[in-house]
Chain A
């Protein structure tokens, strides 16, 4: 079905992203690409769906990528689109329409299918994938999980033989991941070929026929499905892979409301204008030095809770206290800080150093130096924040949080698309912030991360 013959690729002339990769994917096979961030997984997926080299300039590509025996680079992208379906990582940037039906029909309209046939395919798709409730909806009002399922369904509607999934679960909760698992299983049972690049592996373990492990653009290992499932814990960790089995959360629940020391939330309700409350009568406490996980499925109000705690929206009922003192929304803005899911939204200065100076007035150079040193960012002090890698940006946001000396800190979904090493790193950051005497809340639906990073858990 797909053949990579001695493929080497680099974005610029100097560094190689892939080196001498040979890989054959047989029809009906489900193949996993795994390895640390930046190991070349995504590059391989893009070579197969044709985005490389069509969408890259100044790259060097040698070797052959064949689809059904024909070189991919010689086929126009629209022809590939009829055979290869691609689902990407970010559910927000994969749709073109505002309503779900038009989105499902998008690929079919492009192929010039008749209206009757489009309608038949739409019904068939939502029947087979059990997604009836996604029909006729406003996409901007959907949760991230629903958007991703819709993206998957829109690709399915086009009826490709080969599916390419690039970190499809990066932003999904446990329930949606289970649904995605079932959908992939269904595709497999129908004899479709699947190539999937992922960090989160537990949900895939039973589906894959082969796993390809990449390190720095080189195929290091290829396991059969059975070999992969037998992989020893120690070896998995040494390879920097995330867990292969579902994580059991064994953390104690959050403390009851009323702590005098730290954060205490009593009978909290939040609602957006004229809508039913997102959550009601919520009570819990968190002590300084403690990392509290806030978890629950997409759409239960995790983000609303963190916005409310940070004073970015008003509570409709209940009180929020810090060290026994009731705080209004404006006051909470002064004591709370948030490391956002997309850190691009919160870096404003033109250098790493400047970003740190913005954190608080009257910071000494020595203090900034110390914090940057601790987060391994000192070497980048003169660089523009936007030129940093994803992980470095996140650490920079953590640095500004440390410097701001605010007593309450919220991490909002810090783990989307993280490999094992980055996951440990974020856990470490959260721990350090807590050790400095802050109340740290981590909003996440990543159970593996939650279990390794937090002390207690609040399930919404």
Chain B
């Protein structure tokens, strides 16, 4: 089942609002629980485990390890831990979208909500690039192993070949793109059809609800 890109993007906005407006901790827990449930409904079981592990790890760090650690460690890491925890819902949504929203759907979704075409091209090419870069780094690593390049030199050595091949690829990609009419001003159509599933529609409603609750909390509606 495809995770609807429009719902995904909307939830991402809501989660960002929540993360940066110092929402109360109980609300944060609701967000986490809600997203875990959403992952379960999208059958991403391993992802649920991983998210729990990361979130639990950050909580441990923040509430047990850092208070017991020497002062300089606590001060240098507490801000990091705090923000990492707050960003967790955004991270989880990102995971879910990467796994369950294939690129053509994402592009179709962005077109539906009238993203500027330039931005759509930029986003889709960026996403298309990640697997390509992974492939390239694989070859470069192989070459370094055979040359016996180890340690720090390895990090340095990977950059130049990667940049060179990346520029080459970028050039070839854009040549292929324009010869297939990516600049065509005609209104774009889409092979895939977007239909938000009941699960995704419900998730959207929950997202709206949580944002409303956040607003209420900010306005002091809740007594606690």
Contact = CB atoms under 8 A, between A and B. Distances in A.
Interface of A: 49-51, 54-55, 76-78, 80-82, 84-86, 88, 90, 92-99, 101-102, 105-115, 118-119, 122, 140, 151, 154-155, 158, 307, 310-312, 333-334, 336-338, 340, 342, 344-348, 358-359, 386, 400, 404
Contacts of A88: 172, 175-176
Interface string B171-188: 011111111111111111
Contacts of A78: 178, 181-185
B103 A97 contact: yes
Given A81-B180, A88-B176, A346-B161, A112 B186 contact: yes
Nearest to B147: A358
Contacts of A358: 147, 149
A114 B132 contact: no
Given A97-B103, A105-B191, A112-B189, A77 B145 contact: no
Interface stretch (B27-35, B66-74, B134-142, B207-215): B134-142
Nearest to B139: A345
Interface residues on B, range: 35 or more
Given A90-B172, A97-B128, A109-B191, A345 B140 contact: yes
Given A107-B181, A115-B193, A337-B146, A102 B104 contact: yes
A409 B124 CA distance: 40
Contact of B128 (A96, A101, A112, A122): A96
Determine which residue in B142, B146, B173 has the highest number of CB atoms from chain A within 10 A of its CB, and name it.
B146
Given A96-B128, A345-B139, A81 B175 contact: no
A134 to B, nearest CB: 15
Contacts of A82: 181, 184
Contacts of A97: 103-104, 128
B182 A110 contact: yes
Interface stretch (B8-16, B85-93, B162-170, B196-204): B162-170
B221 interface: no
Nearest to A94: B176
A118 B139 contact: no
B179 A49 contact: yes
A86 B181 CA distance: 11
Nearest to A84: B179
Contacts of B102: 98-99
Contacts of A347: 160-161
Nearest to B187: A112
Contacts of A102: 103-104, 191-192
Contacts of B180: 81, 106-107, 110, 154-155, 158
B191 A101 contact: yes
A424 B157 CA distance: 31
Contacts of A109: 188-191
Nearest to A112: B186
A54 B177 CA distance: 13
Contacts of B174: 55
B223 interface: no
Given A81-B181, A102-B104, A111-B181, A96 B161 contact: no
B145 A110 contact: no
A375 B184 CA distance: 48
Nearest to A154: B180
B102 to A, nearest CB: 7
Contact of A346 (B135, B147, B181, B190): B147
B143 A345 contact: yes
A4 B104 CA distance: 39
Interface string B93-105: 0000000001110
